[in-house]
Structure 1
């Protein structure tokens, strides 16, 4: 079984664009879970341009599935996660001005830093995952950080799949097999969509979780939130 965690950043972006509380992020999180979503993902950034730090505290009591907080482990983020104690924290090496995540960790270069941060999260009972490119050396390096899982950065797969290049799945398959051998759990995310999710799921052994936001929200504008979530669940579990 592969869990679907719905990233609700874009809902926060829409809310912030008018300065009020519509759409209400807490209600959306409740609805996502009612519609079958198996987790809620948020990615607070320092400028709070979508998810605000206060949203973390507002969402914590209503997320009854799995709460996943993504972000660059700067001091403020670390403090937030240790207070909120989500089920999972996903570490992403975002620059502060990044529009969206655009690269995985160099797990060799950043081994000592990641190991220190991950040790603290695990000491507090928080499962950790780190965002990595589909490169064998980065997966091997991830093991040495002490992380529980890796999240495969899937933008390149999604781009190539849309061009008809299904061979783009190969490095992801190789890295997934390696992760399985090393005992690392596998998550995936970034630009996965209804168009490409089934092929990805079919070919990635041991895929535990996908985090999908932008595509799912965009697809829901046309097809409806409940309907789109049910379509993802069907594609992930058939």
Structure 2
């Protein structure tokens, strides 16, 4: 296993951590942002700098660590036992207009509970599915253990593409996809208003025939501590 540069200075974002992070120290010139919780991870990823992020409690400790594992993770960073993993930032356009960016997931959802709409997915010019469902969630790898997984989707490894999962589909045999992107979603028919959410924040309503284009527009680095039980350590 190749040793990385030991880390000594961190900045905490979100929290509280409830853990002893020594020998790491908080500092303005931090080498790593320890972002606790999904909101803190999203904020850190959107910050215009290249400081790596240690994601805490984003739903899957294979993407970072948990609060319970934070002390061991701090020790691993201090020893240089970690690896950097690149994650995408998704740009989202509706009908040709940029709406915003997402780090974890992009969701189309009927605004009223239990109202079904019809959605279509296309990637690289090929129509992949039509689904009648309450909504559709597109998850980046870092967010794939969150809402997408709760809707029945897979956990996607870093670099593995974007998962696309219908939410509460009308058919019990609705397809799920993992695609490299870019991709396009469209409301084909709505039986109620459909809202667009970026990382859980509602941005606007989407009407039939308004394409929602999702593409990778930027990237950021997360650190994965190599602690006891990590697959990378088990190989050595």
TM-score bin (small chain): under 0.3
Higher strand proportion (structure 1 or 2): 2
TM-score by length of 1: 0.25
More helix as a share of residues:
1
Q: State the structure with more CA Rg.
A: 2
TM-score, normalised by the number of residues in structure 2:
0.25
The structure, 1 or 2, with the larger RCO (C-alpha pairs under 8 Å, 6+ apart) is 2
